[in-house]
Structure 1
Amino acid sequence: MPEECRNIYKICRRSAGLTQEAAAERLGISVESLRAYECGQRVPPDDVVDLMSILYNALHLIAWHARAKNAMYSRVVPEIQPKSVLEASAKLTNRIFAFAESHADRRLMRIAEDNVIDTTERAEFDSILEDLQEIVEAALELRCAREN
């Protein structure tokens, strides 16, 4: 796991204002196990990460964990950053409006209507997919937003 991913568990625990001892007790695991997860010596099982996300009020921890644990997941699902509800809402709305204003939906339908993406259409198709990926990322950030 990359260095920044090793500490996601620690970052979320600290953001929740919990000590390792308090978190371990509430998670039903040993302090040694939690320390090993936070130092990158071991990867926590999914059920523990699920409990962490609830205890730490950090839904984004699940996405970070899945990306760090599975390279295939990270090829499909964008990396999300924790945001407030306001920030995430504004980002999503801005991405949707930009997509609509560019008429990308209509361009996508023109490309797809013959069920073939030829070499002359590929660059535009890939650009549209990048725009859609930004919308998905923004929607996931809103889904995981904290009410601060």
Structure 2
Amino acid sequence: MKETCKSIYRICRDHANLNQDEAAEKLDVHTHTLSNYELGKNVPPDEVILRMAKIYGTPWLPLLHLKENTLIGREIFPNIEVTNLPEAFLKFQAEISDIHPLESEMRKVILDNRIDEHEIETSETFIKEVMEGIMSGWSLIFSAIEKRPLLEQRSQVFTLGR
């Protein structure tokens, strides 16, 4: 497990102003078990991660957990980071502005509902820029959520699917 992973659970618990005993009780795990998660001795199961996110008011924790603990997470979410809000916003704007010049070319590519051999480079460039925009969008979302008051965070319904 990476060094940074050893502390993401602790950082989130601290964010919620809970000591280990309080958090363990709310999470329905033993204090020793929680300590092992925070020290990186064990990886928490998905159910515990989802409870942590809800109880700690840190909806971005599951993605950080996936990014730090799974190859798939590292591949899908390589550049998601929680940063200061102005920096996250400016990065998002910059990434989105990189997409705009490509829109006209991409419209021509997708008009016939397929991507031909000579259109692959255009589509790959467009997809790369859209992915960068999506990653910076996630960073902006998580940075904004982190800056809200704790009670508002806890009432937020946050899902990645459906």
The answer to whether the superposition gives a TM-score over 0.5 is yes
RMSD: 2.5
Under a length normalisation based on structure 1, what TM-score does the superposition of the two structures give? 0.78
1:68/1:136 CA distance change after superposition, 3 Å: same
Instruction: Name stretches of at least 5 consecutive residues in structure 1 with no aligned partner.
Output: none
| Residue correspondences, number | 145
Contact 1:60 1:80 in 2 (8 A): no
Alignment-derived partner of residue 10 in structure 1: 10
Which AA in structure 2 matches 1:44? Answer: P
1:2-81, aligned counterparts within 5 Å? 2-81=2-81
Report how far residue 142 of structure 1 moved: 3.5
> Secondary structure, in 3 states, of the residue corresponding to 2:4?
helix
Displacement after TM superposition at 1:122 (Å)? 4.8
Q: 2:79·2:136 contact (CA, 8 Å) conserved in 1?
A: no
Normalising by structure 2, we get a TM-score of: 0.73
Unaligned runs of 5+ residues in structure 2 are 149-162
Match in the other structure for 2:159: none
Q: Which residue of 1 aligns with 2:139?
A: 141
Aligned counterpart for 1:127 among listed residues 125, 128, 132: 125
1:100-119 correspondence runs (5 A): 100=100, 103-113=101-111, 115-116=114-115, 118=117
